[in-house]
A and B are shown apart, each in its own frame.
Chain A
Amino acid sequence: MTDTAQTFGFSEAVQQDESRVMTYIAAISEALRYEMRRDPDVLILGEDVGGEFGGAFKVTKGFEEEFGPRRVMNTPLAELGFTGMATGMALMGLRPVIEMQFADFISTAFDSIVQFAATTHYRWGGAVPWVIRAPCDGGIRSGPFHSQNPEAWFVHTPGLKVVAPGTPADAKGLLLAAIRDNNPVIYFESKPLYRSLKGYVPPDDYVVPLGRANVARAGDELSIITYGTQLQESLKAAERLAAEGIHAEVLDLRTLKPLDTEAILTTVRKTGKALIVHSANRMAGVGAEVAAFIAEHAFEWLDGPVQRLGGLDTPIPFSPPLEDAYRPNADKIYRLARDLAQY
């Protein structure tokens, strides 16, 4: 794979295939359908996922018709119960993909995830190969309980893996990798990108290995380290910076646990400056871990203070002026990056 922003890692010739350009949400559906056709042990469960309805965001529309109710299980509104149920299924070798209707609701399943599923292999060798799909992030005026980004809780939990795709291709490739992984994986999918972002998605069996970041745009003056929704905002900011002659590198982490520390070191050693951006609030967020890692391992390469941009330390407000004040965006990234470049 080449590593430039415009191609998301694919050659221009391949990208010419218009039929393979799809939305971020279509890429998720495609990955699920592909894997369910390939592996009879893969099943889907969650609230409203079955029938004609096909989920709150329609990711699994038509799935029950194709795969039957046994493999597309509508559940009661009991996240704690059905997540634990998925753990039992996974221990017996099935590969359940749980749709957590909104990432915000994952807190109700917390014990099942962090106490049972995450610890089982370490304690007695039981593998728990499930995936939780967690539609996250805001900017779509959904208020405090339909806009959250709770990835830091899970990055802090030993035994879990956490991914956050920022492109349609990665949405597919990381989901296939997550389903095939023998550990519990939480897959944070960006609601704001669902239908707003289109891109080339490779056909058939396309896997993006867990634990590998991607240089989404090359540059040498500062590194913007990001993931999920903020990848696109960071790329917009980098474009604007480039117009002013500031060449920012954009590193898309893609997997938040395990972190690709090698890629972080490589970009920071190259540019000497780092700005970490995520939608989640800053306090004890993923950015804090990345910043600490840089301070510990790349101090001598730094030409400026490590900066972080994230949501504010408040519940996520509803009204547009408040939510806009809360959230990072391309303009805020641009301004902070410009200041850092000039440091």
Chain B
Amino acid sequence: MSAQELSRDQHLEIYYWMRLTRTFDDRMLALWKQGRGVGGTFSQRGHEAISVGAGYALGPKDVVAPMHRDLGCYLLRGLSPRRAFASLLGRATGVTAGRDANLHGMGDLSLGLIGFISHLPQSLPVTLGVAMSFLYRDEPRVAMTFTGDGASSAGLFHEVLNMASLYNAPMVIIVENNQYAYSTPLSQQMKVPDIARRADGYGIPGIIVDGNDVEAVYAVTKEAVERARSGGGPTLIEAKTMRMLGHAIHDGAEYVPRELLAEWEKRDPIRLYEERLLSAEICDQAELDEIGRRCEVEIEDAIAYAEASPWPDPATVLEGVYAP
């Protein structure tokens, strides 16, 4: 199925998830500036087309291990903004009941979500293992993970590409190349800037996509997912984008040239998609505005829910170290 075949409803759904992600992000950043946050947090700004476009290509029984720029993927898998916000605020009602920080560890197998750890490359072999469990049981399911340009420098990235290729694993790896690993620009990270080219060394497809074009991200991911599902093995997708704010909320990212950000700002993924939806007459501005209002109501509700949620009881601190 190509992106052109997206129905009007699907287009509006994708727009809704992107807009919900952006609204969540805007309100989250505002809360943190007001001192109502807990610890640090990570902005999603600029990554919405990747997390939503790729995540939307999965089927309901597929499993995904998103990272800290993939709020959109968590949300579209069914993780409610209430639970996500409660996680950010360290409340008992959050996904991790206060165990893990910000977007880390937001795993829920009932939603097909694996929680990541700060050591981002670690999601790669775990996702490979999920894919191998599908092969083991002859299930037509696919495992997908997101990782970053920085994580692609770790040896584990190569171990997993090699094994996924060797085992013909039903797996899709999305590298969100946002040009910076914390303060380290791509030019100080690697000599060959197209991470997708590394797939050549492992005999698997390596695809570069515009990470700010949600339809394109969806289209290439959908193709990769269906290839994996039908026995065609793994795909490496490099979605090129820009991290529009700092690494985390404490980071002003003064090391990023302002002109570079200004260039990318013109290609904001949500505005690009709005322009596309309007110019193709898929919907009108009033409908987009209405979706925006829905998102605001939902996020305000999530914040109110999270802030009213109880803190975890310190008496439970020892609970859950071991599975029963």
Question: CB within 8 Å of B: which residues of A?
Answer: 43, 70-71, 75-76, 78, 80-94, 96, 111-112, 115-116, 119-129, 158-159, 161, 182-183
Q: A88-B143, A93-B133, A116-B119 are in contact. Are A124 and B125 (CB under 8 A)?
A: no
A126 lies within 8 A of B109 (CB):
yes
Comparing B18-26, B100-108, B291-299, the segment that makes contact with chain A is B100-108
B128 lies within 8 A of A81 (CB):
yes
A89 lies within 8 A of B159 (CB):
no
How far is A135 from B302 in the complex, measured between Cα atoms in Å? Answer: 51
Q: A81-B156, A120-B115, A159-B322 are in contact. Are A112 and B105 (CB under 8 A)?
A: no
> What are the interface flags for B236-255 relative to A under an 8 Å C-beta threshold, 1 for contact and 0 otherwise?
00000000000000000000
A115 lies within 8 A of B119 (CB):
yes
Q: A80-B156, A115-B119, A115-B122 are in contact. Are A90 and B166 (CB under 8 A)?
A: no
Q: A43-B136, A82-B163 are in contact. Are A123 and B115 (CB under 8 A)?
A: yes
B115 lies within 8 A of A78 (CB):
no
Please, which residues of chain A bring their CB within 8 A of the CB of B129?
A: 84-92, 96
A124 lies within 8 A of B95 (CB):
yes
- A273 → chain B closest CB, angstroms: 32
Q: A120-B107, A123-B100 are in contact. Are A84 and B166 (CB under 8 A)?
A: no
Total of A-B residue pairs, C-beta within 8 Å? 134
A88 lies within 8 A of B119 (CB):
no
B125 lies within 8 A of A121 (CB):
no
Q: Which of B71-123 contact A (CB under 8 A)?
A: 95-96, 99-100, 104-109, 114-115, 117, 119, 122
B126 sits at the interface (CB 8 A) = yes
> What are the interface flags for B290-324 relative to A under an 8 Å C-beta threshold, 1 for contact and 0 otherwise?
00000000000000000000000000000011111
Q: A81-B163, A84-B156, A159-B321 are in contact. Are A124 and B126 (CB under 8 A)?
A: no
Q: A121-B323, A123-B115 are in contact. Are A88 and B131 (CB under 8 A)?
A: yes
Further contacts, 20 of them, CB under 8 A, given A78-B163, A88-B125, A123-B104: A71-B136, A78-B159, A80-B159, A81-B156, A81-B162, A84-B128, A84-B129, A84-B160, A85-B125, A88-B127, A88-B130, A90-B129, A96-B129, A121-B320, A121-B322, A122-B99, A123-B96, A124-B105, A158-B321, A183-B322
Q: A94-B133, A121-B323, A126-B109 are in contact. Are A84 and B124 (CB under 8 A)?
A: yes
